[in-house]
Structure 1
Amino acid sequence: MSDADDRPAADGTDDGTDGTDDGTDDGGVVAALEEHLLGETPWLTQVQVAERAGVPLEVANELWHLLGFAHVPDDEAAFTTADVRALQLTSDLIRLGILSQERQDGLVRTWGRSFARLADWQVALLASVAADVGADPTEGLLAISDEALPRVQELQSYVWRRHLLSASSRLLAEQTSGPTATLAVCFVDIVGYTSRSRTLSDRDLVTWLESFESTVLGLTVDRGGRIIKNIGDELLIVASSPEAMADIALELTRRGADPDDPFPAVRAGLAYGEVVTRLGDVFGPVVNIAARLTSVARPSSVLVDIGAYEALTGRADDDADEHTGAYRFRRLRRVSVKGYSRLKVWALQPA
């Protein structure tokens, strides 16, 4: 018997409805979106999906939860043949040795978090477009998604492949250091975010944050850095060159200090040294120190650790101020922060 032979009737007669749902109620809209986005109305239970994919049920449940989805009762028809295919692909990757248990957990969690955030933003965007043209939010969302999603999917695939190329190039350049790399790490934090956010509507707040991230992204990419992630009102940026990172941090704080520039006031903490790289993220003491320096930096200031100081000046720490061709360093009192006592710190300024 084929999969299609097992499917419930699609005319709505077997659930007590009259089959005339016009899609205006919430249930009708969700059902229509399910068919639009999943390719068909869900008709398989988790047990059936696992059986068809040839994957143990506990593995199917684990992957579902790692992706960030809610628990589904074993007897609820919440899945489609696309879920079967996804499990088969995962099983193939495990069989090929691409996904070990450790890699599987980390990669799937990363996918879940990343796509959940992306989906929230895209749905809000589509709903906003529908409202702008005066369409009914539910009907407009369906119409726009039908037109836009194939194009969005194709564009996402293109962006993903381009980033794969960039990541591969970085990996090849750093292969001699294994899972570690020597990087300049910087956290950039918006000053007064909490008080500012209380004065803005949800929509205005999103617009403000998106404008901030867009500006930082442009400055960062132009100078050879890359944004790793955002953590609330804070951005984590890395660059191979400490000079490039110093220029990024100084330009961001300069713009934030300009009363005529709408860019918000920021503060930054910069550290340089060896970090652990995994799934596009960075870890280790250098990252922690950069975060701690940001937390104690004054508005519109950039604090650097001893690693960044030595890399930017070309000389070992001598507990003194320093003037170079491009930068000026002011020695500060040693600071004690969570996990690190008496850190050597300098305030970085343009020469």
Structure 2
Amino acid sequence: MVPGDGGRDAARNGGGIADSAPDAGAAESEQAAETAETAESTQSAPAAESAGTTGTTGTTASGASSGAGSARSGLPDVPDLPDVPTTAGEAAPSEDQAQAWAAAKRKANGDELEALLLGGVPRHTAYEVCKAAGIPYDEARRYWRAMGFADVGQARAFTDADVDALLRLGGMPRSGLFTEEFAIQVARSMGQTTARLAEWQVDALFDAFDTAGVGSAEMAEFGYRIGRRVLPELEELLVYVWRRQLAAAAGRVRQQLQEHAEGQQAVGFADLVSFTRLSRQLSEEELARLVSVFEATAADTVAFGGGRLIKTLGDEIMFAADSPARAARIALDLLASMRRTEAVPELRIGVAYGHVVQRNGDIYGTTVNLAARLTSLAEPDQIVVDPELAKALDPDAAFALAPIGTRMVRGLGEIEASALTPAE
């Protein structure tokens, strides 16, 4: 265990780690960042900055005829920097000097980007962070693992922001209102969700770089300049979306309690037909594009219909809705939207209605298993529903149901299934 030693007050009052100094590498990183900032301020500013705009990356200087960014649509204009600093009359640098300076510039750019994304220069060890936050090391490690952070030992990989986060997480059980297990669940939910979000956004950014012709040696520099402009806006947007989703989830729970129908939901699966065969025929880029179009179209359709996209599995998506009619409408809209999308093959959809168990953002239970099994029974471009959903939809004139006979569902016995279509 690591003692607190008054580290909590040190972190709050001093904004850092008591009795700890950055190592030489951290000092060099700070110096490199300051040097790069100074150099940047003396060069011509990107067009978006000179125009007084903030948080945009699509503006370039009018009439620009040179510079790395002038021919890259959608990215800020970043002037080319020489690989080796030279002055008039000096001899041309040797190849070794040029390569060494280029490597130093890339390192400085990478250090700047890391410090920007982390909110500070990594300079503290795990021990120092725990001491400042007054949290035992074993407890802190449980939080870090829950958030999905790799074990870095006692490397200087932490910033002052890590102290603040540890204070917040450790403060939950110490307040007496929550247990440590609750704090770990909070950490895990945020870690797993934001890990995928971060991967998704970085992939999109690098795809934009690749399309714009940005070389690997320039990516850190472009990433830093773009991140400095848009990171505050993205952070605010993330909090906004989270609050809206939190309010929607709380509203659903409140409605279920009022209606005494806790856990009653409609669950659907939509599966791409012949995806295995297509994966052998298409190139990796074509396959990735197919999955991306499918997931994006499905997510928009489910959200528009008032449902929730529970998970995506490449060639399959899982969604849920609080009412049978809403789930049925989503299923019909999914078929219609995919038919309008030439890049996506046919769908099979299965939907069931009943009790589910909600846990960690996912849902489980017999109803979920039944919906998955019904999907495998459906023909291409067909929606198959279970008896409970068919019964609930029967009075609704907007839907047509046609019995397709008794089907043997693996693990669940015989089911009287029906095919769902829109009413004529």
* 2:390–2:401 Cα contact (<8 Å) kept: no
Q: Identify the residue that residue 295 of structure 2 maps to in structure 1.
A: 213
Q: Is the counterpart of residue 162 in structure 1 residue 244 in structure 2?
A: yes
Higher deviation after alignment, 114-123 or 198-207 = 198-207
Q: CA deviation at 1:183?
A: 1.1
- Name the count of aligned residue pairs: 336
Could you tell which deviates more after superposition, 127-136 or 77-86?
Answer: 127-136
Q: Give 5+ residue unaligned stretches, structure 1.
A: 14-18, 315-322
Partner residue, 1:31: 111
Instruction: Give 2:270's aligned residue.
Output: 188
Q: Deviations over 1:194-218 (max 9, x none)?
A: 3334444555444433322232233
SS at match of 1:76: coil
Q: Which amino acid aligns with 2:408?
A: V
Which runs of structure 2 are paired with 1:141-290 in the superposition (5 Å)? 141-176=223-258, 180-256=262-338, 258=339, 261-290=342-371
- 1:49 pairs, out of 118, 121, 129, with 129
1:86 is matched with which residue?
Answer: 165
Whether the 8 Å CA contact 2:335–2:381 is kept in 1: the answer is yes
Tell me: CA distance 1:237–1:27, structure 2 relative to 1, closer, same or farther (3 Å): same
Q: TM-score, normalised by structure 2?
A: 0.70
Instruction: Indicate conservation of the 8 Å contact 1:276/1:284, yes or no.
Output: yes
| Residue type at the aligned position of 1:169 | G
Q: Which residue of 1 aligns with 2:421?
A: 349
What is the CA-CA distance between 1:27 and the residue it aligns to?
5.1
Q: CA deviation at 1:71?
A: 1.8
Q: 1:20-59 CA distances to partner (integer Å, 9 max, x unpaired)?
A: 9766677555433221111222111111111111111111
1:70 aligns with 2:150: yes
Query: What residue in structure 2 maps to residue 123 of structure 1?
Result: 202
Show the counterpart of 1:137. Answer: 219
Tell me: CA distance 1:192–1:29, structure 2 relative to 1, closer, same or farther (3 Å). Answer: farther
Measured on the aligned residues, the alpha-carbon RMSD in Å equals 3.0
> How far apart are the structure 1 equivalents of 2:330 and 2:392?
16
Aligned residues of 1:250 and 1:349 also touching (Cα < 8 A): yes
What is the aligned partner in structure 2 of residue 12 from structure 1? 28
1:305 matched to 2:382: no
Change (3 A) 1:47 1:115: same
Alignment-derived partner of residue 319 in structure 1: none
Separation in 1, partners of 2:286, 2:225: 26
Q: For each residue in 1:302-350, what CA deviation from the matched residue of structure 2 results, as whole angstroms up to 9, or x when unmatched?
A: 1111221221225xxxxxxxx966212223232131x322233222233
- CA distance change for structure 1 residues 27 and 299 in 2, over 3 Å: closer, same or farther? farther
Amino-acid identity (%): 35
Preserved CA contact (<8 Å) 1:255 1:261: no
Q: Cα offset for 1:176?
A: 4.2
Q: CA 1:205/1:283 → structure 2, altered by over 3 Å: closer, same or farther?
A: same
